[in-house]
């Protein structure tokens, strides 16, 4: 089988080919490593390769498969791990000069589970410092470029993960999402990403600055691969007091059952957001295409509160507190863009932090009303397509559709569902006239991760997106 074809196979296609003896895990690994050597230097997606360990894992998978041993569901499948997550014996920087040489002595729970399932970790992927912004760049590794247009950002904070998957440097990747960090880069890079329900995948050890907001999940080229990854990663662990109990649902087994009869709501703006005209037109068309999936689709005008400032306040307060012991040291070496918003910290009061929790509850009450009538809520993932990589840091859109917006006004659709903890996914649903991918967000009821996967798979089956590849 041609190496190029191997690089575009899904995880499930690879495991099936291994079982039939058509290719081996070593063949797949070498094809993907060769592609990474060719394209990663210009994309800067994988920042800490782990080729030696990957080859050893792939050889073991090959021996076990040939010997007819029972192997894990991801045995021999190449994967990347985001550089915000503890990986034993592998440099893990969090994109920060403070941790430039940090090497953990333990694996995160999800890494343990992926390894136990036989996954072949090929490296760590690039992130913004501490994952604080949805733009992947830092002072250690520099920016990650978008495979569809290398002058554009890949988004963030899982920008390296999404760029790697989009570029054929592995079929699956780990990402995490505290305000949109799986869904935004998935949308910008034209791949699939799902933020599971809060607590679905244990988060330990974790950055406490994202506690109660972060969810770890998959970034993939197919929905079924994401279901497979969630089967492996989800489930309780006592080390994470927020981890959810077992549901008994098998995501991969049930992902293809469809969503006929579902009631679906669509909003282009959540009631307050400025949205690019192309983005609105593309996502509206995709949303009403759910009628072809035998769903009832209604455009709604929700009365939701805008928590943009609350997200910024929360991030500033938690980041400063988390790094309090080394704050003066960090100020000298932090990513320059951060100086402006960390300067807000002295003006914050305890009541500002408590007020966020009151508003979070208010948002949840309003969201409950929507999901009392509808099974899914569809929105754009972002208000714009991928934008330029700045020469000296991010230049976020200041105007959208003629309206002035704040520094995160371009990403109004993702963080509300980190505040509520609901599952939400980004589905590739079209391209702008300039060839940049656009994502449709599918939000489900609390804990209905399977429903979001089923809706995503039903759309993918009717409107497959994998045929178009970036022009590298």
Residues belonging to the active site:
82, 157, 181
Compute the half-sphere exposure of residue 264: CA atoms within 13 Å on the CB side of its CA. 28
Output the six-digit token pair for 442. Answer: 């599918």
Residue 450 phi/psi, 5-degree rounding, is -65, -40
Taking alpha carbons only, the member of 252, 267, 284 closest to residue 374 is: 267
Residue 75 near residue 64 (C-beta atoms within 8 A)? yes
Are 376 and 442 contacting, i.e. CB atoms less than 8 angstroms apart?
Answer: yes
Please tell me the distance from the alpha carbon of residue 262 to that of residue 264, in angstroms, as a whole number.
Answer: 6
Q: Which tokens in the block code for residue 332?
A: 């000298």
Write b or e for each residue in 147-180: b if 16 or more Cβ atoms lie within 10 A of its Cβ, otherwise e: bbbbebbbbbbbbbbbbbbbbbbbbbbbbbbbbb
Q: How far apart are CA 368 and CA 446, in angstroms?
A: 9
Q: Which helix (H) or strand (E) element contains residue 79?
A: strand 78-82
Contacts of 238 (CB under 8 A, 6+ apart): none
Q: Which two tokens stand for residue 266?
A: 């669509």
Residue 136 near residue 156, CB atoms below 8 Å:
yes
Euclidean distance between CA atoms 23 and 27, whole angstroms? 6
d(CA 266, CA 352): 32
3-class DSSP state of 86: coil
């Amino acid at each position: 089988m041609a190496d190029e074809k191997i690089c575009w196979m899904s995880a499930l296609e690879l495991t099936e080919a291994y079982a039939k003896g058509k290719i081996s895990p070593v063949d797949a690994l070498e094809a993907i490593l060769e592609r990474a050597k060719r394209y990663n230097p210009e994309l800067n997606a994988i920042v800490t390769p782990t080729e030696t360990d990957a080859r050893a894992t792939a050889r073991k998978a090959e021996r076990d498969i040939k010997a007819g041993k029972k192997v894990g569901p991801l045995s021999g499948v190449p994967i990347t791990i985001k550089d915000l997550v503890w990986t034993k014996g592998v440099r893990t920087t969090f994109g920060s000069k403070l941790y430039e040489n940090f090497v953990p002595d333990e694996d995160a729970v999800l890494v343990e589970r992926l390894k136990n399932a036989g996954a072949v970790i090929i490296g760590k992927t690039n992130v913004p410092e501490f994952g604080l912004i949805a733009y992947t760049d830092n002072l250690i590794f520099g920016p990650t470029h978008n495979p569809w247009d290398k002058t554009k950002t890949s988004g963030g904070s899982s920008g390296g993960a999404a760029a790697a998957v989009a570029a054929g440097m592995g079929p699956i990747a780990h990402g995490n999402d505290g305000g949109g960090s799986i869904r935004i880069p998935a949308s910008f890079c034209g791949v699939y990403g799902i933020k599971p329900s809060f607590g679905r995948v244990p988060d330990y050890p974790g950055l406490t600055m994202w506690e109660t907001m972060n969810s770890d999940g998959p970034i993939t080229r197919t929905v079924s691969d994401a279901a497979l990854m969630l089967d492996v990663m989800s489930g309780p662990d006592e080390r994470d007091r927020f981890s959810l109990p077992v549901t008994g649902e098998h995501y991969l087994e049930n992902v293809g059952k469809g969503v006929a009869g579902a009631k679906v709501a669509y909003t282009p703006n959540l009631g307050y957001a400025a949205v690019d005209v192309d983005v609105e037109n593309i996502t509206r068309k995709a949303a009403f295409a759910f009628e072809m999936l035998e769903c009832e689709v209604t455009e709604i005008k929700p009365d939701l509160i805008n928590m943009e400032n609350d997200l910024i306040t929360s991030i500033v307060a938690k980041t400063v507190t988390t790094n309090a012991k080394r704050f003066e040291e960090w100020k000298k070496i932090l990513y320059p863009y951060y100086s402006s918003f960390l300067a807000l910290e002295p003006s914050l009061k305890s009541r500002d932090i408590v007020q966020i929790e009151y508003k979070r509850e208010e948002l949840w009450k309003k969201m409950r009303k929507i999901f009392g009538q509808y099974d899914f809520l569809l929105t754009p993932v972002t208000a714009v397509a991928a934008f330029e990589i700045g020469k000296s840091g991010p230049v976020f859109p200041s105007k959208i559709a003629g309206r002035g917006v704040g520094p995160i006004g371009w990403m109004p659709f993702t963080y509300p569902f980190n505040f509520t903890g609901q599952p939400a996914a980004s589905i590739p649903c079209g391209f702008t006239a300039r060839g940049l991918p656009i994502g449709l967000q599918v939000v489900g009821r609390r804990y209905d991760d399977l429903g979001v996967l089923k809706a995503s798979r039903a759309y993918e089956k009717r409107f497959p997106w994998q045929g178009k590849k970036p022009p590298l």
